[in-house]
Each structure stands twice: as C-alpha cells, then as structure tokens.
Structure 1
Amino acid sequence: MSDTWRKGFSAPRRRLGSLLRTSPKKLFVLTIAIFFTLCLLAGGSFRARRYYVEKAKQDERIPYHWEKYPRLSGFYHGVRTLVNYTDWVPEQQITEKTKPLIHEVPPMDPVVVNPYPDFSSSEYLQDHHPVQRCYVDENEKFPAPDIFAYPGIPAGMPAPFWGSYESIGVAPDRCWERFGRFGPYGYSYNPAEGGLGLSNNSAHAGAEKVQDMFTKVDYRKVDWSKAQKKCFEKNQKRFDPEAARGDGATEGKKVVKRSAYVLRTWTGYQYTDIQLLSLRAMINELSLKSGGEYDVHLLVHVKDNSIPIWASEEVYNQTIRENVPEEFWGITTLWSEQQMRTYYPGPFPEEENFENHSKSDIHGVYRSAHFALQWFAQQHQEYDFFWNWEMDLRYTGHYYEFHNGISEWAKEQPRKLLWERSSRFWIPGIHGSWSKFSQLVERETMESNEKPVWGPVTFPTSGRGMLPSPKENTPPTKFEEDNFQWGVGEDADLIVFDPLFDPAKTNWVFRRDVSGYNTSLEIPPRRVAIITVARLSRGLLNTMHEETFRMHHTMFPEMWPPTVALHHGYKAVYAPHPVYFDRQWPLDVMDKTFNYPPTPQDSPFGWGEHNMQGGSFYYNAGFSGALWRRWLGANENGEGGKKMEESRSDRMCLRGTLYHPIKSESVE
C-alpha cells in the first residue's frame, strides 16, 4: 500500500473518535441529520422501485390493435430513388417487398417551385392591379428568394391515408428535401455569410445543384417588419377598394383580400435554428412573394403578469428584445393574462359554468387562448382573415401553395351538408373521390334521424340570451330546395385541420367547459376541432368578441370558434389535408375506428385518441416529430443520420405535409 492510500484510509477513524467525544447537543443534531438522510435514501429507493414497477406494468400492457400492423418504411427512401409521379406505386399497394433502384446521384434535377398566379399575364392584369416585386433587404439588393423541389417521388413512398393533394390544390408530383426547402433561408451556408451552417453533418448527393440555384442572403441584417411593410406599401392598390373602383382606366379591378398570419408564442420560448428557417419561409412565401397578401405576426404571451407592458414603451420593447430574435422584433405584439382580465372583465361566475374540468382560471391561456386572438383582431380590422398558427407546427412544402390551395378549396364548398361532411375523415382509399365521399355523407345523413345543420342553430336560452346572427348567414331557401348552390364561391369563415365533431357524442374531457349560459337549461349545442390551428374570418372573430365581452359567453379554446360558427350560421369547413400513418392500417378498420366508433368512449376524440399516435397530425401524434426529425437528417431511435443516409439512398424527400406536434428538433 502507498502512504497516500494509508493516510486516506486512517483519516475517517480519527474523525469518528473526535465525534464520540463531542457534546450531547451536537450528538443529538448529528443523530437527527443522519435519521433524515436515511429517510431520504429510503424514499429515493422506494420511488426508484415504484418507477421500475410501473415501467414493467407498461411493458406488460396489452398492445393497441394498430401496433400489430406492419410498419411502413418507404418514408425513408432518399433522393437517389426518385421516380416520376406516373411511375410511383404507393408502398401500401406493393405486393412484393423489393428494394428500390438506387442511383449514384439523384436521377432528376431540382426545379423552382412557383405556385403563385402569373402576375405578369394579361389575364391576371385584366382583373388585378400589377404586382410590384418585393425584396428581403431595405436596399432592394436581394429579391424574395425562390425555393426548390424535386419533380418526382421516392420509389415506394407511402400514400396519405386521409385527404389528398389534388383536392386542396397542392401539386402531387414533387417532393422536398432540406437543401431545396431551407437552403435559400440560410440552412446550408456558413454563419460568416449570414447563414446557419447546418448542413455540415448532412448527406448531400446532388445538393450542389440546389445551392448553385440561389443567392446567399445575409440574414443577420434582415428586418422582416420593414420588408413586409415596404412590400405592402408598394402593392397597396391591390387591396384598396377605392383604388379597385379606379378612374376609368383601371375601373373594375378586383380587390385582393389580406390575411394576418398569427404565430402564438410566449416569453422564454427557445427559437431553434429550424424554427428560424421556418419563420423566414413563412414571411417570404406568404408575404413577400405574394406581393403583400399576408402579414406574419408574432403574438407573444408575457407570462409574468407583473410586467406592465401596457404602461411603458420602454418595458414593452425591452421585453421583446429579451424574448424574440432581433430579425422579428418589428413583427411582435405582446399580451398578458392580466391585460385580458381588463379587456374581458366578465363576470364569468363559476355557477354559470357547466364543468371546469381543468380547474383552471377562466382568464388563463389554457382555457381562453382565444381571448388574445380576439383582442388582436380588434386592433387589426384591416385584415379579412386571421390564421391562428402554433409554434409546434412544421410544413415540408410551400406555404403559399398550401394556404392558398386550402382557402380556394374551402371557398368552393357548398354549405348544404357541409357540417356533416366536415365531421368525418375522408379516406380516399376506401371512399373514392371527394364527390363520392360527399354522396356517401348525404345518403347516410338522410337515413339517420338527425336534422342537418342549415343556417344558424337555435336553442333554449334565458338571462342574457343570444346575439342576433348576421343576416347574410340566413339560408336563402329551405334545405330541400337547395341544389348544393348556397355557399359556392363564398369564403369560409372557419377553416380547421381536424374534423368538426359534436362533443356530445364523445367523452372528450373538455366537452362541458361552457361558461355564461343558463346551467339550469340543457347545455348548448357545440362543435369542436382538436388543435386550435385555424383560419378565422374577421366577421367570425368580431362575433366571438361580442359574445365574450357583451354576453360573457366563452368555452374551451378548441370548442369556442366552431361553436360560435355553428350558433350564428358561419361557413365552417374541415380541410382534408394529407395525413400519413406509420403503419399499414387495413382501410376498413381505419374507417370504422375513426368514422364509426361503436361507443362515445371509443371516439378518436376521447379515450380512443391513442389511434392518432401513429399519425402525422394530431395533438398526441408521436410519428409527426419522429418523421420530421428524420427528414432533417437527425438520428431518431437509433436510425437515420448522415452515415445511414449515405450508406443507403441519401437524404429523405417528402411531399408537402403538415406536422404536429414538433416538441423537439435537431439536425445532428
């Protein structure tokens, strides 16, 4: 033994002897300390044992029925397997599983994606004012950039189970990889050049062709507020009814409607590099490239109610500087729950609430996220529509193509049986075309005993009663006399991304969180769309505001806009955007599970929500985040990453898909 080791070994014995000779008072304190230490150790041991017992129980649980279905793997085929759309066979239809042909390099070149109207065409200029070009920088050196996709699809890529690309006006024959989608926003070039330098760990076969197609922008010097404002000012005639009336030479020009694209964020939110890329994409593709049809806003929840953001411009600006990246300072609006207490004082007495399941405060963001959006809309009546967008959403495709396509699709939907169609999932693999699906809903509705929704819905009220509904929402004819004409060509007041279901037919936990109505009467009829992502018209938001501040009516956030639309006869639709699943569900089982649950408890919007976990869009969808991170090039659950991509078919190339929720993202 070394002397050092001996000294270290004998020292504790000497300290113990000195302790035994200490005073009784010190011994008592020491005994108490030892006792509590042992208790903590025992408690920790107990919690550890309980954790492993619970984990074992979970491991022993009976698997959900969908977990036995085979996994789909075609999502992960890369750019070196691309085929023409006409040659693509979805993985669900492949009978013999064979490896796709893998080329040395991508077999096709990337192309510019331009989903905008031909602003320079004689047809467009006949009806509209000219569109002036917009720039990213104040000196107008860098025009709003293009983005790029491959004109093909990876061999064996699965098809979406719900919705379709063609129906919502999105090109079905292309796919997106990370260099073409995010390269123009700084993904692939170095921070010294104003980029983010995220592509160092990425597989990159053929990526040099994409990078040669765009000019690098130094995003360290970009002020998106100035860029949006200048773009709007240059194109203001397009949106001005007075200018549309013209002076003879320009008479009869159409007014283009404008939208506020409102991203809901909060103090303390961590803006990842991928989030920065996504925000830049939204502003460029929705606002600048469209000639000012959208303005992107950050609506930031100030969680600390003691910060007087309404009383001091200095405090307001300092709060923004501390919580928002500099390039977005100018597009930020702050709000707080304390502010909403003043704006919507109520009263909202508990005795006028049917059931507060969450036991939360009515002014808390959890129960009344819509208060802030209603307030924001009152400050910005210049917009025709407001997109309520969440920070944990991602989209692989082109934002304008997606949002404009959905808006136009919704505009062409007739009102007759619209609520009934919007309450179901359209599964093209079993229902066929949208037209056939619509006929099925019509037949089944007529065979049921339920009365279709037709105009504003009435129900027993007392006390404060109800606001009158807008006259334009009154049906022009009886239900039986309408030949699916009413509503065609009319902009939708509410567009949602999950079905508009009747919570009374489910055991959704917040179905009775209804305030301000007479609780001695039957609960009012309601509708819900899970996830608060939606497009709302100015008229609908104004009615929601009036209902809240005049009538003291409100409901859980996912229930409030659809229910106000139901009560007052607004046009509301569920947009059938493409949704993927990670397993090969039998289509008849999927239809029964999601469209015909045998009991309220089995509803996918209640205890049956586990069925959504393998999907690409829902509040609890686990597949969404996993697929998104793999698309970014990250290693997910031991798969993916640069080495695996290079050894197989290179980086993934996915069709335009809306993902939710994305709770974490990485490019490593």
Structure 2
Amino acid sequence: MPSSRFSPGKLFIRTRFNYEKLPGAESGPASPLPLFSSKTWGPKGRQPAWANRLQRPRMSFARLLTLAVTVVVLVSMLATGIYRRHRWHKQLGHESAKQYHWEHYPRLNGFFNGVRTLVPYGDWVSEQDYVKYSQSPNPEDNIKPKWPHMAKDNKEPPMDPKPFNPYKYDTEAYLKTHDKVETCYLDAAEKIDAPDVYAYPGIPQNMTAPSFGSYEEIGLDDKVCFDRFGRFGPYGYSYPRDEGGLEMSGKSENAGADKIWGWEKKVDYRNISWAGAQKRCYEKNKVRFEKNTTTSGDEPAKKKVPRHAYILRTWTGYKYSDYQILTIRAMINELSIKSGGEYDVHFLLHVKDDSLPIWSSEEVYQKVIEDNIPQEFWGMATLWSEQQMRMYYPEPFPNNVYNHAKADVHSVYRSAHFALQWFAQARPEYDFYWNWEMDMRLSGHYYEFHNSVGEWAKKQPRKGLWERSSRYYIPELHGSWKNFTEMVEEELYNSDEKPVWGPPNFEHTGMLPSPPETKPPHLYLQDNYEWGVGEEADIITFNPIFDPAKTNWVFRDDVTGYDLELPEPPRRCAIITVSRQSKRLLDLMHRETYLMKHHMFPEMWPPTVAFHHGLKAVYAAHPVHFDHNWPLEALDNTFNKPPKPTDSVFGWGEHNQLGNSFYYNAGFSSEWWRRWLGSRENDKGGPTAEEAGTGRLCMRSTLFHPVKKEDLLLT
C-alpha cells in the first residue's frame, strides 16, 4: 500500500497523523453566499438583470471612500494580529511545534556500531542493558557493561565472515523423512553455482536489542550479523560491471570485505535468466513436491514439501534501482534456487492502462513486460489490470457501509486482494502465496526468515491464538513466550470477552459454509494447548491482527455486501497487506467475493475471512526495533493497552509507530536501512564517518518497511 493514504484537506486533523472526517462534512448546508454557481438561467443561458448589475456595479465617491477606509482598518487589524501571534509563539518557545511524548525518550545509537566493534554473542551487552546497568546505583550491576572499543591501529574487523547456510537438507534426520534435494545451478550447463551469503559470527558490542519480537523465539540465528558486502557482494554489489557485477562499492568503507572471495566465485549476471533457473530447479526436484503414498520396501513414504508462490506486487512505471535488483536476486537465489525449488518468485504486474489489450495480444503482453521489468527477470511476470478484475468479479457490490477512500471497489487501492485471489485460481499448484511489497527489505537471509516464520506458526496452538496475535510481544517485559501465553490467557479470563474458538456466531443473512475441520474438537476449557499444533497457518501477518471496531482506524467501516439492517459483521485487520496466505484461505476469499459479493478493505479482508471461517491465523513476532529507549511499561500501555479507541496505535495514535523499523508509516526504517548501505543520513554516517569511526554497519536479520528510496548520500 502507498505510504500516504489520506487526503488531509478533507480530514479532521488532531495530530500530524490523524485521519477522521468531521461528522456531517459531506451533508452540511450550502454556502450562504453563492457568488459562483453552475446554474444556467433561462432557455438560452441568459442571466437576469440583477446579475448584470452585480457584474458592473456603480459606486458613488462616498461609497468608495468608505470601502477604502474599511480595507485599511481590516489590513491593520490583520497585521497587528499576525505580529502579536508571532510574538506569543516566540515567547512560548514555538509551542505549535512541540514533540510527541515518545520523542522525549533518549535516542538509541547502538544500531550504528560498526564491524570493528564485533564481539562473540556471549560477550554482547545490548545498548538498553548498558544504559540500565551503567546508571544503576547497585555496584553489582556495573560488572558487565561495555561500550564499543576498537583497536586504533587496526581497521580490520576482529573476526572473518563465514558462509551462512540455513538449509539442513544433507542431515541424516532430514534425509530419513524427505527426498534428497538435488543441487540447482544458475545456468543450463550447470557450470555456475548458486552463490552463498556471508555473515560475521558476532554482533557489534552494544547493538540495540529489538523492542518487539524475538530472534530466538521465531528461530532466527541471533548470534551473527550481516554487513552489506557479505549480504549483497555475491549478487554483484562489490565487483565491476565488466565482470558482471553492479560496481556499487567504490566509496564504501571496505576493510576486510574482500575475504569472502576466498570462498566465493564472482557471478557474471549479464546473461542470467532467473526464470529459466527457477524452472530447471523445480523440474530437477519435483519428486519432493508430488503427493503420493508409494513406499520403498518397508520404509514409509517420504514427506512431501509444500510449494510457495512468492509474489512481488509491482506496477507499470516502477523504477528498479540497482539496490532493488540486488534484493530480488537475493530473493530468487535464497528462496528458490538454493532450496531446491520450494519457492517460485513471481512478479504480479499491475498494468495501469486499462486500454492495453494484454489479454488478446501476445505481442502487447510481452512488450509490457519488456518495458517494465529488468531483462534478467523476464519470464517471471504475470500481468493484470483493474479492467480485468471488473470482468472477473463483476458488479454489483451492494450495501457498502462507508467508502472512506471514495474509490471504485475495483481500484487497486480498495481491492489489492482481487489480483491475488485471481492468481491463486490461475496458478493453483502452490500451497502458500506470499503477498510481498516492493518497499520491503530484509537484512538477513530470505530462506532462513521465511522458513522460520512458517515453522514457528505451524507450532502455535489455536487456544488463545487470536488473542496473542492481537498483541505485541515485548520479551524484556513479558518474559518467555510461555509466560506471555499464560499472561494473555489470564487477561482474557478476567475480561468480559469470549475467546475465539472456531468460526464465530454472528447475525447474518447468508454465509458460505466453513470447512468442517475448523470446528473445534472439544470445548475451549478442555483444551490443553493441543489443537492446532502442527497445523499450517492459513494466514501469517507481520503486524498484530486487531479488531478494527475497537479503534478509529480510518477504513474500519469499508465493509460491503452484508445486510445493512443488521450490525456490521465482526472483523479483523492487520496493517500492511504483506502476509503468507494458504490456498484454502484464498479459495474462500475468492468464493466469498464472486458468490456472496462480500468485500472489505485489503488489510481487513484476508484476516476477516480467516476469522469468519475458523482458519488458523498467526501474527509472527519478528524483531522490531525502535530508535528511542521507551520505558517498557509505556511501550506496553501504548501499543497493547490503549485506554480508549482514539489512542490506538492503529488509528490516531499511529504516530507512535514513526520511530520503529516496521509499519506502514515507519520513519526509522528507511534511515537505518540506508545507513546500513553506507549512506549519510541526517548529517550522520556515510563513508567518511565509517572510516574514521567503527566501520560499516553490521546488523542481525531485520525486516524493514517502508523503504521508499535508496538514493545514497556518499560524502
């Protein structure tokens, strides 16, 4: 979704990020002074005599004098008022520009400690702990705190990078239950190996810890960090274009960066066809995905691996920077080629011009691809248009509660999910579909992140799952995940709310039947966190799945197709449309759309369909960082326990999200990402500062959104 969703001129603005309209703004009285009118007078547009007199007024000298004196008095009063207001604001210290409450918390800077401060994980002290213990009056608390120190005569990192391999395909345990993974290559002759990614086996001392989520809980390696050379060097970042690279590291601090070439070979990407590489990899490994029950002797059938469509949502006119190309190469290589074909990366390309005959002309179809997709990714794009969606999901879509966006129901703004639903019908061979946006970035390894998130979600029991998924997990406050689970259960027990347990009952005039397997096997209180363990999640989100009716989120009432005489149906929402969705969920969404004419805003629709039909929904508690050191209780109260709907961080309170690394309007995400790439941001960082200081940045696996631009300031 775009970063700016709202029209400030039509909204009631309480803060810089409030989006409620004034009640009755569209039905108020007409202007009492209709000086301009579109009304036409008489059969031929003639105006009455009084109108002509208004256009050519005759004024006496006395009237002109009176008017002149009035104008002078009004201008004088206005000037005096402006001066007094200016002096008043100056005396108050520009009160109108006061900061948000969270901006008064101390800034965190451990994010920017470089590779020269690397220490083994066992010696690492987070920046928050350093601050806490170094300021503690208790002498025993001052034993471990350390601020980064580097040897002045050595610019090299204190340790060497190592290949990072999250694949466990060659282990005895894996091969006992799964088919062998055949090695894939980038070329048809199988001469070009798929490159590895490199990480340092340590963390910069006092690297800032995440405020939300947990590396350890999700299953990510929290003992290593990635710099830009180890992460993107193998994809062409650090070698010349005449060798097939992108030659982007000329002004970068690079001490020790060339060590990866002791193991890695440089790939000439000028002649690589990623579509061909993906197809060959799948064909070589398709036995891993074919569902069968054959056995070899007394051995049971090998487990089959689910397939994933990894869908990049792009559009005509999108500009692919060199950094974007590095990111996409990393996605394809790490998710598809190195995994033996578990993922296929696709471009779902929105053709904005509805007049283009993309469905009747192969030549036009291919030209659109060639004009809008870099050549190395040709063969991976599927085109769609809003006009196509109008034919696929035809009108009418009746009974809308409130269309705040004032947009057509088929516009991508209100129905981004239509194209994904259609894609899942056109390409039904996948088990899961990842809906990914072009302004997402990941500093870590794509397969490790996505596989870990999926496996973690699969382990989650259904009991209390919707309730846990509606909250942010704060490890420093909540303790272990088990403790967090018990805390949420206790809060639920002491509240007036009923737990979500299977499809909810609500008043309606027609609903599709839910899958029979979503009916709970027993009562809620009889379950010992057993139901759902080992079950794949139908939707995985990366922000909490909340009840929009309890917030003033601006699109909460964009609900269509339900009886307006009845209360609005219960619903759920996760901000940012990024998610993993199962084929089962997308099939239900598709049928709800074309059979029932049900529809909701894109960020609300998939979680709501999952909710209505009792599917398994999980918010993945991935690490999210903040640039200010929030007190833990303030963080919990603000994000998890707002005292009233208008305080919700998913509504008027979303300014609280500005200083983090993952939200639709997060400001810190772009700054930190570009600093990691080597840019100078807000007069800090950049090649000169890195060279004189602790070196280039090295960070643990972190998911970023949004990153709208990667224009680096290299001074």
Match of 1:90 in 2: 126
Deviations 1:485-512 (A, max 9, x none): 0000000000000000000110000000
Q: SS at the partner of 1:235?
A: helix
How much does 1:98 deviate?
Answer: 6.6
Match of 1:116 in 2: 167
For 1:166-565, list aligned pairs within 5 A: 166-242=216-292, 245-246=294-295, 248=297, 251-349=300-398, 352-462=399-509, 465-565=510-610
User: In the aligned structure 1, how far is the partner of 2:94 from the partner of 2:184?
Assistant: 55
How much does 1:58 deviate?
Answer: 8.7
Match of 2:186 in 1: 136
How much does 1:121 deviate?
Answer: 2.9
How much does 1:136 deviate?
Answer: 1.2
User: In the aligned structure 2, how far is the partner of 1:542 from the partner of 1:583?
Assistant: 43
1:586 equivalent to 2:622? Answer: no
- 1:363 corresponds to which letter in structure 2? H
How much does 1:640 deviate?
Answer: 1.3
How much does 1:300 deviate?
Answer: 0.5
Match of 1:67 in 2: 103
User: In the aligned structure 2, how far is the partner of 1:153 from the partner of 1:376?
Assistant: 41
User: In the aligned structure 2, how far is the partner of 1:59 from the partner of 1:404?
Assistant: 49
Range 68-77 or range 204-213, more displaced = 204-213
Match of 1:18 in 2: none
Q: SS at the partner of 2:311?
A: strand
Q: SS at the partner of 2:122?
A: helix
User: In the aligned structure 1, how far is the partner of 2:311 from the partner of 2:148?
Assistant: 42
Q: SS at the partner of 1:299?
A: strand
Q: How many aligned residue pairs are there?
A: 612
Range 229-238 or range 86-95, more displaced = 86-95
Q: TM-score, normalised by structure 2?
A: 0.84
Q: 1:133 touches 1:143 (CA, 8 Å); kept in 2?
A: no
For 1:619-638, list aligned pairs within 5 A: 619-638=664-683
User: In the aligned structure 2, how far is the partner of 1:487 from the partner of 1:123?
Assistant: 24
- 1:575 corresponds to which letter in structure 2? A
User: In the aligned structure 2, how far is the partner of 1:415 from the partner of 1:393?
Assistant: 29
How much does 1:637 deviate?
Answer: 1.4
- 1:109 corresponds to which letter in structure 2? D
User: In the aligned structure 2, how far is the partner of 1:430 from the partner of 1:240?
Assistant: 45
1:151 equivalent to 2:201? Answer: yes
Match of 1:27 in 2: none
How much does 1:247 deviate?
Answer: 5.3
Unmatched runs of 5 consecutive residues or more in structure 2: 1-81, 135-144
- 2:246 corresponds to which letter in structure 1? L
User: In the aligned structure 1, how far is the partner of 2:487 from the partner of 2:118?
Assistant: 36
User: In the aligned structure 1, how far is the partner of 2:595 from the partner of 2:258?
Assistant: 60
User: In the aligned structure 2, how far is the partner of 1:441 from the partner of 1:251?
Assistant: 41
- 1:421 corresponds to which letter in structure 2? R
How much does 1:458 deviate?
Answer: 2.1
Q: SS at the partner of 2:97?
A: coil
How much does 1:122 deviate?
Answer: 2.9
- 1:73 corresponds to which letter in structure 2? N
Q: 2:561 touches 2:596 (CA, 8 Å); kept in 1?
A: yes
- 2:232 corresponds to which letter in structure 1? F
Deviations 1:311-333 (A, max 9, x none): 11110000000000001111111
How much does 1:250 deviate?
Answer: 6.6
- 1:362 corresponds to which letter in structure 2? V
Q: SS at the partner of 1:403?
A: helix
Q: SS at the partner of 1:330?
A: coil
User: In the aligned structure 2, how far is the partner of 1:133 from the partner of 1:99?
Assistant: 44
User: In the aligned structure 1, how far is the partner of 2:114 from the partner of 2:94?
Assistant: 35
Deviations 1:208-243 (A, max 9, x none): 11233311111110101100000000001000113x
- 2:164 corresponds to which letter in structure 1? V
Q: 1:135 touches 1:231 (CA, 8 Å); kept in 2?
A: yes
Deviations 1:321-352 (A, max 9, x none): 00000011111111000000000003113xx0
User: In the aligned structure 2, how far is the partner of 1:198 from the partner of 1:435?
Assistant: 45
Q: TM-score, normalised by structure 1?
A: 0.90
User: In the aligned structure 1, how far is the partner of 2:434 from the partner of 2:551?
Assistant: 27
Q: SS at the partner of 1:277?
A: helix
Q: 2:386 touches 2:412 (CA, 8 Å); kept in 1?
A: yes
- 1:394 corresponds to which letter in structure 2? R
Q: SS at the partner of 1:501?
A: coil
Q: SS at the partner of 2:379?
A: helix
User: In the aligned structure 1, how far is the partner of 2:478 from the partner of 2:586?
Assistant: 34
Deviations 1:357-399 (A, max 9, x none): 1101100000000000000000111100000000000000001
Q: SS at the partner of 1:334?
A: strand
Identity of aligned residues (%): 61
Q: 1:179 touches 1:211 (CA, 8 Å); kept in 2?
A: no
- 1:584 corresponds to which letter in structure 2? N
Q: 1:420 touches 1:441 (CA, 8 Å); kept in 2?
A: yes
Q: 2:397 touches 2:560 (CA, 8 Å); kept in 1?
A: yes
1:604 equivalent to 2:649? Answer: yes
- 2:111 corresponds to which letter in structure 1? F
Which of 77, 84, 89 is the equivalent residue of 2:113?
Answer: 77
Q: SS at the partner of 1:262?
A: strand
How much does 1:415 deviate?
Answer: 0.3
Deviations 1:255-291 (A, max 9, x none): 1111000010000000011100000000000001110
User: In the aligned structure 2, how far is the partner of 1:366 from the partner of 1:199?
Assistant: 37
How much does 1:612 deviate?
Answer: 0.3
Match of 1:102 in 2: 150
User: In the aligned structure 2, how far is the partner of 1:87 from the partner of 1:617?
Assistant: 28
How much does 1:660 deviate?
Answer: 0.2
User: In the aligned structure 1, how far is the partner of 2:706 from the partner of 2:94?
Assistant: 23
Q: SS at the partner of 1:369?
A: helix
User: In the aligned structure 1, how far is the partner of 2:208 from the partner of 2:319?
Assistant: 33
User: In the aligned structure 1, how far is the partner of 2:294 from the partner of 2:517?
Assistant: 24
Q: 2:146 touches 2:206 (CA, 8 Å); kept in 1?
A: no
Deviations 1:450-494 (A, max 9, x none): 0100001121112xx100000111111111111110000000000
User: In the aligned structure 2, how far is the partner of 1:438 from the partner of 1:133?
Assistant: 41
User: In the aligned structure 1, how far is the partner of 2:107 from the partner of 2:620?
Assistant: 27
CA 1:327–1:250: 2 relative to 1, 3 Å: farther
Deviations 1:616-660 (A, max 9, x none): 000000000000000000111111111110000110001100000
